[in-house]
Structure formats: structure tokens, C-alpha cells
Structure 1
């Protein structure tokens, strides 16, 4: 349910009505509003305060038309596999409505007024032998070996943790400004092709494709699991 306590900060009402809005009007979004979204993202934290993020903002209809076939291929791949069936416990009718919205966005992607691609690239690590010795001593042999096995996952999560807080800020700012937006990562199915169209360096990682525009529908309360169902106090 949306927050409605008069004592709640306005942010709570924003969060509780921030649906993923996929049906967008083709009307352009002013650059100054898009800049405000990026400003909100930049206010988010990043590891070590390195601020290695970059944001590609697409508003040119010709570029959007180039991306539209890639978007279609990615969405079709998603709907044929991961998104083929409703997750366990999810209402089938609600899932069907979500899929219909995804298909609408797919079929009208070329009309998307703005698209934001958050990017991030860690600098090359500077680790000296003495640092590695202290690292292994602090963790112990078993944990050090375990970390070596999951290093790729750890690095991906480390980069993601520098990006996604800013993305959430961006989504909140969009909702606050009356703009529709939703986060997707389906572009990763064809990330190299997306990078080629947008001129993104090959060694720069992309973390989302966020369509932004004025909503065709209305914002409303999100449907989420109740807090008492998801909290484990003190231990699992």
C-alpha cells in the first residue's frame, strides 16, 4: 500500500507508488530534466568515492531507431526463456499484464523519448605482495581459496554496488518529476552490439538500459511482499 501517514516524508509516498512504467508517450523530455535525473544518480554512493561512472543519454530518434531492432531481439530472447512463465506465487493475470507492457515497449521502442545507459569501469588494481600476505592472513587459507574461486562474481558485485544506488536515485527522481522509467538489463544479451551503436568503449561495462518518458498510464501503489514476511531478526 502507498504511504499515507501525514507524518511520513514525501519520499515514502514516492517510493510506494514507483511502478515500472513501460508505456511511454513519444513527447520529448527536456534536456534539463534529464540532467536532473543524472544529477540524482551522481549523488549516489560509489566505492571508495572513485566516481568512475559515465552515463550515455540517448534522445536522437535516429539512434533510437538503430537500437530498436537490438531491443526487440533482447526482449524476445528474455520472453522465450527467463520471462516465459510467471514466477512461483505470482498471480498469472498480473504477470500477463506485465508481459503485455513489456511487449508494448518492445513494439514502440523507436518512439522512446530518452534512454539512459549507466556505465562503470574500475581502475586496474594496485596490490603489492605485502598486501596480499596481509589479505591471506586476515581471511585464513580456506576463505582465501574460496575468494579466489568467486573473484569474478565479487568484482561484478563490487562494480554493481557503485552503479545501482545511483540508478535507484535516478528512478526516484524520475517518479518525483512525473516521468515514467524502468530499469532493464536485457541489453546485456547483445552488449557488444549496443556498445558498437553507441560508441561505448569495449572495456567499459554497462549496467542497465533505462527508457524514460512521460507515462501513458497513472502511477499507483506497488504490489510487494509484506515486511513481516521478509525480515529475519538477528539471525535467519
Structure 2
């Protein structure tokens, strides 16, 4: 008979809860990483977890750039610094409404630590995706407009760019979440960032990513310097609207 050992920092609860719940409830954004390498087999397991995620239309058009070469990481470090500094000078300059100032200051300190030690990051994963060229026929457009109605068709024309970005992102981010959960389960620290998009062209050039390919995140991965622990989130009662808003 085997006995399961609770995950460090997992909240107390029903012993019959699946381990996944403990994993999710202690999956902090861990930005302070040790420089120790992450074995390739563990990184492959993270990508495998990402690949298992849902894929829109089952197209599976995702690609993952995995950086572990210290020379490449050192080349990316100045780009990371510029992106982080741009964030901290604007959105990141202000404590979000409702958040404790001391807690936010600790988070900023962790962001600055990661910025200043980025060249020592053991691994960086960049999820990419590219939709195929759409096949649009006149008859299909007619049926599309008929199904939506004139007003909704005109409205969709105005938000098509946003719709396409969300559709593409919906094919990527389930995989990123799987990757983050797998990292936590394996004892690895990771966090999702979008700041690289400030200088996406420069990042793509440094990593040889084709111009037509879109990047959706930059996920630093490594062994944590700190400890995992319960996340602080709004209670369910505050965020649920039953049946209607």
C-alpha cells in the first residue's frame, strides 16, 4: 500500500481531491530561478504536456522554441531588460486596484531580480502559432452573412483583427497552461510573460523565428530559489454570475 505525500504548500482540504487541484492552487509565478540546468527530458515533458492541450480544428499548428544555450540567453538578456523596463515605466508602475502595496512591491522586486539575472535563466520556452491561409469562397461568405444577419456581419468586419488574434491565441494558451501545470508538478518554476511583444521583431530575429509566425509568450523555466505556496486569488463568490450578469 502506498501513501501519497501532500505537495509542499498545498492547502488543507478533502483528502480525496485530485492532486491536480493542489498543483493548481500552489502554482505561483516563480521568477527567482537557480542557474542549474534543466534536463532535456524534463523540458520535453513540458512540451509534451503542451501538445496534449486542445487544438482549434485539431490543426496543431503550434511550434515551440526551447532556448537552453547560455550564449543565446545572453543575447536575449538585453532585449528582456528593455521590455521589462518599458513595462515597469508604464503599466507596472502602479499598484493594481485592490492589491496590497507591500505585496505588489514584492512582486516588482521579483520581476527586477529576473530582469537582472535573465542571462542565467536555465531555459526559455517561446510558444508560436500560425494559422493557415483562409479558404474563402463566395458561396461560403453568402451563407456566413445569412447566418449572422446584416448587422452582426458588419460588426464582425470591424473586429475581425481582434477575432483572429483571439482565435489564434485560443489554440496556444491551453497548451501554455498545460506546460505551467506540468512544470509545477515536476517541481520546476515557471511564469508566463508577454513583455517580449514590445520587441517581437527583435526577439524573432534573435531566435530565427519566421516573420509570418506569431509568438504568444516567453516562459522562463528553472529550479526555484523560493518555495511554492498557496496562491492569493479572489473568492469564487465574488467572480461568479449565475445564469446572467
TM band (smaller chain): over 0.9
SS state at 2:127 partner:
strand
**C-alpha distance in 2, partners of 1:49/1:91?**
42
For these two proteins, the number of residue pairs brought into alignment is 235
SS state at 2:172 partner:
helix
Does structure 1 residue 168 correspond to structure 2 residue 169?
Answer: no
Displacement, 1:92?
Answer: 0.4
Which residue, out of 162, 177, 180, partners 2:189? 180
Contact in 2 for aligned 1:120/1:205 (Cα 8 Å): yes
Residues 155 and 3 (structure 1 numbering): CA distance in 2 closer, same or farther, change over 3 Å? farther
**C-alpha distance in 2, partners of 1:123/1:116?**
23
Contact in 2 for aligned 1:55/1:116 (Cα 8 Å): yes
**C-alpha distance in 1, partners of 2:204/2:188?**
26
Listed one character per residue, the Cα deviations across residues 76-133 of structure 1 (whole Å, up to 9, x for unaligned) are: 0000001110111111000000000000000000000000000000000001100000
Listed one character per residue, the Cα deviations across residues 126-185 of structure 1 (whole Å, up to 9, x for unaligned) are: 011000000000000000000000000000000000000000000000000000000000
Listed one character per residue, the Cα deviations across residues 199-232 of structure 1 (whole Å, up to 9, x for unaligned) are: 0000000000000000000000000000000000
**C-alpha distance in 1, partners of 2:12/2:174?**
22
Displacement, 1:4?
Answer: 2.5
Which residue, out of 49, 54, 65, partners 1:45? 54
Displacement, 1:5?
Answer: 1.5
**C-alpha distance in 1, partners of 2:93/2:14?**
39
Displacement, 1:197?
Answer: 0.5
**C-alpha distance in 2, partners of 1:139/1:185?**
33
Match of 2:8 in 1: none
Which structure 2 residues correspond to residues 13-28 of structure 1 after superposition, within 5 A? 13-28=22-37
Contact in 2 for aligned 1:3/1:16 (Cα 8 Å): no
Q: Which runs of 4+ in 1 moved over 3 A?
A: none
Displacement, 1:47?
Answer: 0.6
**C-alpha distance in 1, partners of 2:131/2:92?**
31
Contact in 2 for aligned 1:116/1:209 (Cα 8 Å): yes
Contact in 2 for aligned 1:47/1:162 (Cα 8 Å): yes
Structure 2 unaligned spans of 5+: 1-10
Match of 1:69 in 2: 78
Match of 2:142 in 1: 133
Contact in 2 for aligned 1:4/1:13 (Cα 8 Å): no
Displacement, 1:46?
Answer: 1.1
* TM-score (normalised: structure 2): 0.95
Displacement, 1:26?
Answer: 0.1
Displacement, 1:191?
Answer: 0.2
**C-alpha distance in 1, partners of 2:244/2:13?**
31
